[in-house]
C-alpha cells in the first residue's frame, strides 16, 4: 500500500488516467472557438476551473467556473465571465491565457501566473492576485514577471505551471538562515519559444520565486532544462509542461510532439537538472474514436488531488479546435 504523503508515487500511477465514460468535453465552445488551457484548484469542497476562451481573431480571455468535488462535471459558469481580458496597452494587450492558480502559504492569498501576448510583443508570463474570490483577479504589475529575454525564449516565455516547496520541512536539523527567512520557494516551469512555430523550438524552462514576493522571478541559468526524452514521440518539441509535487519528486506532465501529433508524457525530477522519463510514455494519447473531441491531439495535462484519488484535466484537439477534457484513475 502506497503512503501518498511519504512514498514516491509510482510511474504506473501516472499512466493510469482514463477518460471519464460520459461528460467529455467538460468545457467546450462551438467551432471555431476554443475552450482550453484549463487549470483547477480545489478550495474546501469546490473545484474552481480557470479556463480560457479563444475568441474570434485569436483573442484569448480568461474564464471561471466551479463544480463540487463530488461531481467534477457538474459545472456552473461564473456570470461575470470573462473574468480577465487583455489590457489596453500592456504586454498582454492581445491575449490573456493559460492561467495557473495557486495558494501562497506565505500570505494566504491566491496568485495566478498566466500567458500574456502583446500585439507587437512575444508571449510572456504575467502575475495576478486574488483576495479570495476566484472570479476576481487583478494584475500584480503591468509588465511580465518572466520576460522573453533569451535566445531560446525569443518568441515566448509562456505557459507557466507552479509547485511550492516548503524548505523548512525538507531541510535538515541544521536548517540554514536562508531557509528560516524565506521558508518556501515557488518553482515554475514554463515553455520557451525559440521560434514563432507551435511545433518547433519549444522547450521546458525552470524558474523560482520566493513566496514572500511571487513577482520576483529568477530564471534557472541552465535553461532550457528539458528538451525531450530522446524517444521519437517527443523528438520535435515539448510544451505546456505541468508541475505536480509528490512526496519524493516533482512530476512534470508535458506535451510531446513528433512532428505530427501531440501526446502527453511524464518525467520526474528532484532538482530540475536531471529528469527520469516514465517507462510507460506517452502516458496519455489521442482517442482512437475519429468522432471524439480529442482524436487529433492531447495537451495540458494538469493532475490534481481530489479526496483520496487524482484527476487530470487536459486539452483535446479535433480538427483545428481544442476543448477541455477530464480523465480519472478508475477502479477496476
- C-alpha 95/C-alpha 58 separation (Å) is 8
pLDDT of residue 183: 59
Task: Give me the DSSP letters along 139-194.
Answer: ES-SS-SB---SGGGTTEEEEEEEEEEEHHHHS-SS--HHHHHH-EEEEEEEEEES
Helix (H, G, I), strand (E, B) or coil at 36: strand
Would you say residue 13 lies in a domain?
no
- C-alpha 52/C-alpha 86 separation (Å) is 12
pTM for this entry: 0.94
User: Tens digit of pLDDT for each residue in 242-260?
Assistant: 999 999 999 999 999 999 9
pLDDT of residue 243: 98
Residue-range definition of the domain harbouring residue 172: 25-325
pLDDT of residue 330: 82
Here the cell at position 280 is: 510507460
Q: Indicate the pairing of strand 250-257 with strand 237-245.
A: antiparallel
Would you say residue 318 lies in a domain?
yes
Would you say residue 6 lies in a domain?
no
- C-alpha 68/C-alpha 75 separation (Å) is 8
User: Tens digit of pLDDT for each residue in 185-205?
Assistant: 999 999 999 998 888 999 999
CATH number, residue 118: 2.115.10.20
Would you say residue 279 lies in a domain?
yes
User: Could you give the C-alpha distances from 277 to 18, 137, 160, 265, 285, in angstroms and in order?
Assistant: 20, 36, 21, 8, 16
Would you say residue 330 lies in a domain?
no
What do you get for the CA distance between the two ends of the chain, in Å? 16
Q: Which of 4, 11, 6 is nearest to 279 (CA)?
A: 11
pLDDT of residue 152: 97
- Walk along the chain (332 residues) and give the pLDDT tens digit of each residue: 567 678 789 999 999 999 999 999 999 999 999 999 999 999 999 999 999 999 988 899 999 999 999 999 999 999 999 999 999 999 999 999 999 999 999 999 999 999 999 999 999 999 999 999 999 999 999 999 999 999 999 999 999 999 999 765 544 433 333 333 345 999 999 999 999 888 899 999 999 999 999 999 999 999 999 999 999 999 999 999 999 999 999 999 999 999 999 999 999 999 999 999 999 999 999 999 999 999 999 999 999 999 999 999 999 999 999 999 999 998 75
How many domains is the chain built from? 1
Would you say residue 4 lies in a domain?
no
pLDDT of residue 7: 78
Would you say residue 236 lies in a domain?
yes
Would you say residue 5 lies in a domain?
no
Amino acid at each position: 500500500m502506497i503512503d501518498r504523503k511519504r512514498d514516491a508515487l509510482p510511474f504506473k500511477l501516472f499512466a493510469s488516467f482514463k477518460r471519464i465514460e460520459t461528460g467529455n468535453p467538460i468545457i467546450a465552445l462551438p467551432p471555431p472557438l476554443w475552450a482550453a488551457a484549463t487549470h483547477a484548484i480545489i478550495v474546501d469542497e469546490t473545484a474552481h476551473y480557470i479556463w480560457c476562451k479563444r475568441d474570434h481573431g485569436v483573442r484569448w480571455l480568461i474564464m471561471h467556473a466551479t463544480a463540487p468535488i463530488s461531481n467534477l462535471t457538474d459545472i456552473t459558469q461564473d456570470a461575470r465571465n470573462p473574468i480577465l481580458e487583455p489590457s489596453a496597452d500592456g504586454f498582454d494587450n492581445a491575449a490573456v491565457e493559460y492561467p495557473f492558480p495557486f495558494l501562497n502559504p506565505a500570505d494566504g492569498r491566491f496568485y495566478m501566473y498566466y500567458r500574456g501576448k502583446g500585439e507587437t510583443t512575444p508571449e510572456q508570463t504575467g502575475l495576478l492576485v486574488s483576495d479570495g474570490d476566484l472570479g476576481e483577479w487583478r494584475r500584480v504589475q503591468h509588465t511580465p514577471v518572466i520576460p522573453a529575454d533569451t535566445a531560446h525564449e525569443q518568441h515566448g516565455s509562456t505557459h507557466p505551471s507552479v509547485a511550492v516547496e516548503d524548505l523548512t520541512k525538507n531541510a535538515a536539523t541544521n536548517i540554514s538562515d536562508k531557509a528560516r527567512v524565506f521558508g518556501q520557494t515557488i518553482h515554475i516551469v514554463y515553455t520557451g519559444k525559440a521560434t514563432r512555430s507551435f511545433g518547433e523550438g519549444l522547450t521546458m524552462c525552470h524558474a523560482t520565486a520566493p513566496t514572500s514576493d511571487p513577482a520576483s522571478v529568477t530564471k534557472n541559468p541552465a535553461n532550457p532544462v528539458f528538451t525531450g526524452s530522446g524517444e521519437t514521440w517527443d523528438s520535435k518539441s515539448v510544451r505546456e509542461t505541468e508541475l505536480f509535487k509528490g512526496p519524493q519528486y516533482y512530476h512534470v506532465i508535458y506535451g510531446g510532439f513528433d512532428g505530427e501529433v501531440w501526446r502527453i508524457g511524464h518525467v520526474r525530477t528532484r532538482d530540475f537538472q536531471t529528469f527520469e522519463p516514465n517507462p510507460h510514455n506517452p502516458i496519455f494519447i489521442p482517442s482512437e474514436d475519429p468522432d471524439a473531441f480529442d482524436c487529433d491531439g492531447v495537451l495540458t495535462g494538469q493532475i490534481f488531488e481530489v479526496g483520496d484519488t487524482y484527476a487530470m484535466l487536459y486539452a483535446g484537439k479535433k480538427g483545428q479546435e481544442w476543448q477541455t477534457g477530464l480523465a480519472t484513475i478508475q477502479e477496476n
